[in-house]
Amino acid sequence: MKTQTFRKARRGFTLLELMVAMAITSVIVTVLVTITSVATDTWTRSRSETRAARQAKVMLDAMAKDLESLVSRRGSDSEWLYASISSLNAPKVVSSQSGDTNAAELIFTTAATDRYAGQIGDSFPANVGDVSTAAYRLAYQDPIDGSQNRDTSTFALYRLLVDPDETFDKILGAKDLDTAFNTFSGRLTEEQNFVCENVHQFTVTFLVEVTPAATGSGTAPKPKIVRLTLSSDNSTGEFRLKGTGIETNISTAAATAAEISAGRLTGIELSMSVLSDAGLARMAGGQGLKPEDYARNVYHYSRVVNVPSM
């Protein structure tokens, strides 16, 4: 009797019990893996978005400060602001997308607060005024060595600030700001001028107040704001702010060329699209982003800046 009781006590699990236990364990492991995967994906997305937002904020804040101090004078043929659209030889974001990304280049005179590297009044010239030249350019290259290596290149936005003494000697009063800036153009994409990476799009929209021509009804027409955007649809798009008025080849149905020329620049809308690191890796590998992955890898930011008018 004791031998039978001992043998019963040592009896193991049945096959059915083992199968049930394995099934329960599999369900628990599957749930844990799913939760971990979701949490990891959420963390990665949040990290990418935070990083993109931080870079975009730094970039837009810097541009806003420069544009809020825009310097322009009416009455001369000097040029105070120049913007153009240029194409980038870079991978496409969406696999079905045709054409290159928007890439605006912006040059303008400004009373920037960080002129002379922020050491105003120390040992720098004091007789040339406070007008600097700020320039921004989006380039597809390695932000460290400037090479076009596809494995390390990124969409990098650069800012160059030409101090007042150089601005006074070589730029101020020029009829063509882009031509006068050629002396400094090579310095613009140097590594010390790098501000923001993984930028897919840098678009500039000018807000111009125009007064429509009189209609003869006896009622004076009211001024209105028209939007002029530098976009890849117009690969030769240019916008120039001169002392004599606005010169641009960007057209709009909302105003005539003469109305735009006599108009007043009141603000500039800055728009940026920043890629996540995962999105950039896919593009560098030539895969592009499928439309359904676009929202997960591209973050959009914009800001409207009011500028001093002439």
Residue 185 included in any domain: yes
| Domain annotation covers residue 26 | no
Output the pLDDT for position 203.
85
Residues 6+ apart with CB under 8 A from 286: 91
In a domain, 65, yes or no: yes
Whether residue 9 is contained in a domain is answered as no
The pLDDT score that the predictor gives to residue 19 is 87
For 257-292, what is each residue's pLDDT tens digit? 999 999 999 999 998 888 777 777 666 666 666 777
Give domain status of residue 81, yes or no: yes
> Which pLDDT score, from 0 to 100, does residue 151 have?
60
Q: What is the four-CA torsion angle of 268, 172, 85, 265, rounded to 10 degrees?
A: 30
**Domain presence at residue 12:** no
Q: What pLDDT does residue 99 have?
A: 40
Q: What is the reported pTM?
A: 0.77
87/253 Cα distance (integer angstroms): 25
151 domain-assigned: yes
What is the model's pLDDT at position 100?
44
Task: Please report whether residue 23 resides in a domain.
Answer: no
In contact, 150 and 284? CB cutoff 8 Å: yes
Range of the domain at 237: 33-306
- DSSP one-letter string for 34-61: HHHHHHHHHHHHHHHHHHHHHHHHHHHH
Instruction: Name 289's bridge partners.
Output: 94
Which residues of the chain, if any, have pLDDT below 50? 1, 97-101
What's the structural domain count of the chain? 1
